[in-house]
Amino acid sequence: MRGVALTEVTTEYVFALGAAVAAVLPGATWLIARDTRESGAVLEAALAAGLRSRGQTPVLCGVVPTPALALLSQQRGVPAAMITASHNPYSDNGVKIFAAGGTKLTDDVEARIELELEAVLASFAAAAAAAAADAAADAVGPGSPESVVMPDAVDQYVAHIVALFPAGVLTGMRVVLDCANGAMSVVAPVVVSALGAHVTAINAGPNGTNINADCGATHPASLSAAVLDAHADVGLAFDGDGDRVIAVDNHGHVVDGDRVIALGALQLKAEGELTGNTVVVTVMSNLGFHRAMNAAGIDVVATSVGDRYVLEALAAGDHALGGEQSGHVIYRHLATTGDGLLAGLRLLRHVHSSHRSLTEMATEVMTTYPQVLVNVRVNARHPDIASELATEIARAEALLDGDGRVLVRASGTEPLVRVMVEAATDSIARESADALAAVVHARFGVAH
């Protein structure tokens, strides 16, 4: 869940969420971490208080990337909560919950948490909730355990990632890292340097308000410029909590998640590690990705949008690799969730060992179809929007005549309908997407 920090995502709400998840996912200990937003510490305190109200012992890991928290959760077999709004601006915040073992929640568990949250919010007056949240640093109830601090959480993650690769595997490589002024700022430069690369780090000075601000995976322009300035081989851009990565080649061109996953799939297949000869992506992956995998003899499983759906499909088929165009890349046999640093390091090693440029490799691996995405703010959630617009969608697909595709879906976190069209040319994709978006706005949109 995420929203505007302290107005939508309030201390009262996060306190109640802590109590709710403790009831649904009981365990003696919970791990809590956060990214670099200025609102993180107070929400951390509120969440810890909510957990303590149900007899849990919160362990505070401080500022670490989401994949680091998932790793610690996996190693200790305990549930965890990450306070982050991922790639959103600093003014937003939210909470990601991991089940014991560092895995994403299933739909039924999420539904149970929502019901319990409603019950908790209804069980005490708003004033009492506010007082409890404001006193978040204090134990709730006599004899309740206090929070414990894990001071070496970052060091544990760094040591784990470095140990996954041969010593000096990146020696001689020049790499620029855009840390998005987020949680990777204290991790990525250390790890990539430890593996032998010459590192230039940018946007690695978080101050609480500059996370994702015109930088990171959603704003790679500054990384492209820095790669050219440094004459670097590759650039990697992370998002605020470090679970996604976007690459930049030696000419400053952006290499998105589709190409990173495609290269990873070919690499695993060559190594005999692509289990089931299958890669898992979401319906947002470009048509060019599907055609490239088909040409390489690799099967593709497409899921709903969201890394947890990718993870479910990976687990169901015991597949090794999956992810999203946005840069979530999951090496399931190495991590329980998307890890931008791990995926980036796999890409760096692949480029370095091939003795070729990322420009050559990314260009050859697939051809990207022009893709246009239009977001339409609507008056309510429309989970069955594709059915509601079946006639209009069919008409748009017919006009593409098999050389493109149309996807209309509801956002999973906001009252938005996302209209995506891929076509042979950008103008065709734009015209079709705008026409469908106009229909959505006319029927369901919020008046301006």
In this structure, the answer to whether residues 384 and 235 fall within a common structural domain is no
In this structure, the answer to whether residues 127 and 57 fall within a common structural domain is yes
Cα 190 from Cα 258, distance rounded (Å)? 27
Categorize the per-residue pLDDT at 448 as very low, low, confident or very high, splitting at 50, 70 and 90.
Answer: low
pLDDT tens across 212-245, in order?
A: 999 999 999 999 999 999 999 999 999 999 999 9
In this structure, the answer to whether residues 253 and 390 fall within a common structural domain is no
Quick one: which of 249, 260, 236 has its CA closest to 177? Answer: 236
In this structure, the answer to whether residues 130 and 187 fall within a common structural domain is no
Angle at which helices 257-270 and 340-354 cross, to 10°: 60
Place of tokens 């088909």: 294
Question: In this structure, how many other beta carbons lie within 10 angstroms of the beta carbon of residue 421?
Answer: 28
Q: Is the Cβ–Cβ distance between 113 and 22 less than 8 Å?
A: no
**Average pLDDT of the segment spanning 378-399:** 90
**Average pLDDT of the segment spanning 133-137:** 57
Question: Is 285 tagged catalytic?
Answer: no
- Label the pairing between strands 80-83 and 278-282: unpaired
In this structure, the answer to whether residues 346 and 406 fall within a common structural domain is no
The pLDDT score that the predictor gives to residue 384 is 87
The pLDDT score that the predictor gives to residue 144 is 43
Counts for the chain of helices (H) and strands (E), in that order: 16, 19
In this structure, the answer to whether residues 258 and 397 fall within a common structural domain is no
Domain end point (choices 307, 338, 365): 365
CATH code of the domain in which 190 resides: 3.40.120.10
**Average pLDDT of the segment spanning 67-72:** 98
Average per-residue pLDDT for the chain: 93
**Average pLDDT of the segment spanning 195-201:** 98
Domain end point (choices 325, 343, 365): 365
In this structure, the answer to whether residues 147 and 225 fall within a common structural domain is no
* 130-139, 195-204, 255-264, range with the lowest pLDDT: 130-139
* 94-108, 119-133, 169-183, 219-233, range with the lowest pLDDT: 119-133
pLDDT tens across 410-426, in order?
A: 987 788 999 999 999 99
Instruction: Give burial (CB, 10 Å; 0-12/13-18/19+) of 177.
Output: buried
In this structure, the answer to whether residues 87 and 141 fall within a common structural domain is yes
Cα 48 from Cα 60, distance rounded (Å)? 8
Give the predicted TM-score (pTM) of the model.
0.88
CATH code of the domain in which 378 resides: 3.30.310.50
In this structure, the answer to whether residues 131 and 213 fall within a common structural domain is no
Query: Considering 39, 86, 147, 285, which one is annotated as catalytic?
Result: 86
In this structure, the answer to whether residues 359 and 375 fall within a common structural domain is no
Domain end point (choices 365, 395, 417): 365
The pLDDT score that the predictor gives to residue 137 is 46
What is the number of domains present in the chain? 3
Domain enclosing residue 256, as ranges: 161-365
Cα 288 from Cα 369, distance rounded (Å)? 6
Categorize the per-residue pLDDT at 138 as very low, low, confident or very high, splitting at 50, 70 and 90.
Answer: low
pLDDT higher than threshold 90 for residue 308: no
pLDDT tens across 321-348, in order?
A: 999 999 999 999 999 999 999 999 999 9
In this structure, the answer to whether residues 188 and 83 fall within a common structural domain is no
In this structure, the answer to whether residues 357 and 318 fall within a common structural domain is yes
